Structure 1
Amino acid sequence: MSPEVGELDTAAVRDAVADDPDDVLPLLMQMSTATDPALRAKVQALVPRLVLERARSGTRGGSGAGRLRRSPADRGGDLDVDASMEAIGQARGEQRPPGLEELTATTWHRPRTALCLLLDRSGSMDGSRLVTAAMAAAACALRAEGELSVIAFDRTPEVLLDLHAPSPPLRTVQRVLGLRGHGMTSMDAAFRAAADQLRGARATRRITIVLSDCRATDEVDAVPAARALEELVVIAPASDDEEARRVAREAGARIAAIESVDDLPRLLDQLLGR
């Protein structure tokens, strides 16, 4: 992938990532700290874009079930003849064609969704965990409808992206890739921080997504705070999901286990599609 000092074969990198993202993306994260400044800069610029490209897989324009909404026909949509009969009859009585603004149309409407992504950065934040966190942030950024918050947490939460301070998806991914792991784990503090962020959301759906094994080390029961959230989605590592499943079960949350970083966009679509 690096044919000579300071060089990066971008085409070879993309092919390698397509063949084996779980090994190659973490390897690129190691290369992003290379001593060669030219190579380091090229890798740091490329990795966030590669993550975003893979996160676009299966992207849908919004989350949640759609519903039909009625509105004046001059705003677009399909004519609702039954709802327009009164206006049609009145126009006919006046011997004129009805105006579009008098008729009723139906449009398919998806409720707006606010997302809060919680990223567990406690313990060691190695290349694989960092790439998975970045993929989660990218997938959420591409699926959000204008209201997205990203919070990294260990014992205390840190707001990386405030709900009311929109940021381009690329910048969000770059911030996540800059995380360093340390400290204990407070799931309770994380869930409470998500509630604080979503409290001011304008959306009709407010969903918290947590990427974690949910193993708290502060001895505080996080289930009450988890239950208080309007909707909770848990994404846990397949190799260690026992505690996450317990928390999800007791909190009434939806859960999925992730084996490959490439699974994340698809799993997220499934979990948000309810």
Structure 2
Amino acid sequence: MGVLDEEAFEAAMGADPDAALTLLASMASATDEKLRRAARRLAARIVLDLARKGIALGRGVGKLRSVSADRGGDLDVDASLDAVLAGRAERRAPYVEDLVARQWARPELALCLVVDRSGSMGGERLAAAALAAAACAWRAPGDHAVLAFAREVEVLRPMGSDRPAAAVVDSVLNLRGHGTTALTAALAAAAEQLERTRAARRVVVLLSDCRTTDTDDPVHVARRLSELVVLAPAGDTEQAADFASRSGARWAPLSGAADAPTALRELLG
């Protein structure tokens, strides 16, 4: 009791990654406290490593750029020195358009992951959700949010937060399935999160079978999103395919938990 053999787990990952990840996610909610803590520590490390291998870092981070000072920004004294000296030599103030400033460029990409926790939330679904969260963190490290929903929407990481990816993965692994599927409210909450970012591209990533219990059709909210991609569990994709078709979203089935980073990469392009 309370023992997790990491060497045995690595061997299991080599033989069947999906089964190993599903088992690890299940152990992350074990009744034995010592085993539960060990499993969650290992799960966070494994999940982040898998996501890092499949997703390029940095596409969501704003970068400093040099612009003319008349366009705003913080003065770059070193780069503006020639203009300052020229003005002094001519006994005048330097022309503002000759000065150089530094500005933060808009990040290229912002992501909001929306995890459906209604109904059953077993090991495979938990592992897929954790991997999707880690993949979003690596794809857009500065501009991503993670939400979970059933009847209510829970914010696991708000947009602009400095909460580390490992902590978010741990929160995902702690999710328990229950309740109805309020997809309309979840998509509306995702839209609100994306309004907080300056990113040029804003994408909602929905991890769900899209079997909603809403009285209002969520397609109306989905069509107002800038971009929507859907990851659906393989073998239960009929509702997701229909929802994606009606809302103009792109979608892909998840053949297993380990498939999440690759499926996300292909959907985002």
TM range (shorter): 0.7 to 0.9
Deviation digits for residues 48-106 of structure 1, max 9, x if unmatched?
11111222232213559xxxx9979xxxxxxxxxxxxxxxxxxxxxxxxxxxxx9xxxx
Amino acid at match of 2:244: A
Which residue of the partner structure matches residue 19 of structure 2?
A: 23
SS of 2:8's partner is helix
Deviation digits for residues 171-191 of structure 1, max 9, x if unmatched?
110111111111000111111
1:147–1:166 CA contact under 8 A, matched in 2? no
Which residue of the partner structure matches residue 142 of structure 1?
A: 138
Q: Does 1:215 align with 2:217?
A: no
Which residue of the partner structure matches residue 250 of structure 2?
A: 254
SS of 1:57's partner is helix
Unaligned runs of 5+ in 1: 73-101, 103-108
Of the three residues 205, 226, 229, the one matched with 1:230 is 226
- Within-5 A mapping of 1:1-274: 5-62=1-58, 112-273=108-269
1:235–1:257 CA contact under 8 A, matched in 2? yes
Which residue of the partner structure matches residue 83 of structure 2?
A: none
1:62–1:112 CA contact under 8 A, matched in 2? no
1:116–1:149 CA contact under 8 A, matched in 2? yes
SS of 1:122's partner is coil
1:57–1:266 CA contact under 8 A, matched in 2? no
Q: Provide the C-alpha distance between the structure 1 equivalents of 2:243 and 2:5, rounded to a whole number of angstroms.
A: 44
SS of 2:242's partner is helix
* Closer, same or farther: CA 34–160 of 1 in aligned 2, 3 Å: closer
Unaligned runs of 5+ in 2: 69-97, 99-104
Amino acid at match of 2:183: M
Q: CA deviation at 1:110?
A: 9.4
Q: Provide the C-alpha distance between the structure 1 equivalents of 2:58 and 2:262, rounded to a whole number of angstroms.
A: 14
Q: CA deviation at 1:255?
A: 0.9
How many residue pairs match? The answer is: 230
Q: CA deviation at 1:39?
A: 3.0
- TM-score calculated relative to the size of structure 2: 0.79
Question: Identical aligned pairs, as a percentage?
Answer: 50
Which residue of the partner structure matches residue 75 of structure 2?
A: none
Q: Provide the C-alpha distance between the structure 2 equivalents of 1:247 and 1:185, rounded to a whole number of angstroms.
A: 14
Q: CA deviation at 1:20?
A: 1.1
* Closer, same or farther: CA 43–224 of 1 in aligned 2, 3 Å: same
- TM-score calculated relative to the size of structure 1: 0.77
Amino acid at match of 1:188: T
